[in-house]
Amino acid sequence: MRAIVTGHTRGLGASLAEQLLLEGIAVLGVSRSRHASLAAQGGDSFAEVELDLSEPSAVATWLGGG
């Protein structure tokens, strides 16, 4: 199983990403900054993207459409 967690660097998003990793679920974290401790904890089950989802052009570029 895999999950995408937005806002994975703090608060609810960080807690959710951590719990999913503990349950063996691969996580893609999407946020404006990186989360070093989640990256260390998740190993190969964790990937992250620095992306501001409030910027449509940045999202389009990341998705390959811009």
* pLDDT tens for each residue of 19-65: 999 999 999 999 999 988 888 888 899 999 999 999 999 999 999 97
Q: Where are the alpha helices (DSSP H) in the chain?
A: 11-22, 36-42, 56-63
- Model pLDDT, residue 66: 60
Strand order through the sheet with 46-50: 2-6, 26-31, 46-50
All residues at 6 or more sequence positions from 5 whose CB lies less than 8 Å from its CB, including other chains: 13, 16, 17, 20, 27, 28, 29, 30
Q: What is the pTM of this model?
A: 0.86
Question: According to the model, what pLDDT value does residue 51 have?
Answer: 95
Chain centre distance of CA 66: 21
